[in-house]
Amino acid sequence: MKILITGGSGFIGSALVRHLIHEMGYQVVNVDKLTYAVNEQALDSVRDHPEYHFEQVDICDAGSIQSLFKRHQPDAVVHMAAETHVDRSIDDPSIFIQTNIIGTHRMLEESVKYYDGLTDSKRDAFRFLHASTDEVYGELGLTGDFSETSPYRPNSPYSASKASADHLTRSWGRTYGLPTLIANSSNNYGPWQHEEKLIPRMVSRALTGERLPIFGSGKQVRDWLNVDDNVRAITEILLHGEPGESYNIGGNCEIDNLTIVQIVCGELDRIIENKPSGTTTFSELICHVENRKGHDFRYALNTQKIRNELGWSPKMDVSTGLRKTVQFIVSASKTAFKQP
């Protein structure tokens, strides 16, 4: 099976590439623009693999995408290319609209053209999966969760752009007959995540003795999902999901941001002997800053659909996953804190 993955050099995309090649034995065509968020080391284990092919292409370039379809003849598309950082979307929404909405439109358009030209057997097997987020649903109060039938109420430019991409994907399935799937995932964490995200940002700042800023009270709740569990779920949806359907992927592990940072600090205390000058624990570096604009209070996903229909459930418990993630970031860091 040959799978074309857009954004395969990103955090989740690279984990999916590694999984599909090493665990599934599939051929992968990685289509990536190589933006600031990429860490190319994440793909070192597959770079020279005979089943791995890389194409540096902007998904907004329709001609280049069309050429890739003709040359590689994929059996499926997993569309993961996206701008993802909420703070950046607040500062400059334009690139999010361009990549997440216009780029998704280009991928759908070229996928339909390719799909319409396939033989019957290839058409029957072809799938287009759009990787999305739980943020499209908006925010929750203290109780409840989001199901696949919950209304979309995005509250940031990022989540609005992803919601738009979801709607485009669903409409291309209904209108043009493209066999589409949508995967809405909760907060991912794990190795190779960019430092703008919460966990790697806190670790990298702690290692240089910097303050650890937390938006507002830090009581905003997220459902934490290990990236390897997420890519297993995406693979199951791609292979066995029902075209036209969407599936929630969550860790069923709700923890507020302040607690996550405290857990990270506790692991740093355990593995790093020297602490920043004037402190006895890394948690003393925590500080609270002005809350993010439009900051959603809580996300939680109902995952019964993917559990019941596809037999997926997360394998990595959060305590083990966070410990391994912190250890990975520390070992990969070129700037570990040293006591003066």
Q: What are the residue numbers of the active site?
A: 134-135, 158
30 with 13: CB under 8 angstroms?
Answer: yes
Integer Cα distance of 255 and 123 in angstroms: 43
| Dihedral angle over CA of 315, 304, 227, 272, nearest 10 | -60
CA 235 to chain centre: 14
Nearest C-alpha neighbor of 95 from the set 194, 161, 18: 161
In sequence order, what are the beta bridge partners of 223?
A: 254
Structure tokens at 245: 């359907």
Structure tokens at 206: 């702690």
3-state helix, strand, coil in the chain (%, to 5): 45, 20, 40
Task: Give the helix ranges, DSSP H, for 241-303.
Answer: 257-271
Task: Give the angle 59-62-65 at the CA atoms, nearest 5°.
Answer: 65
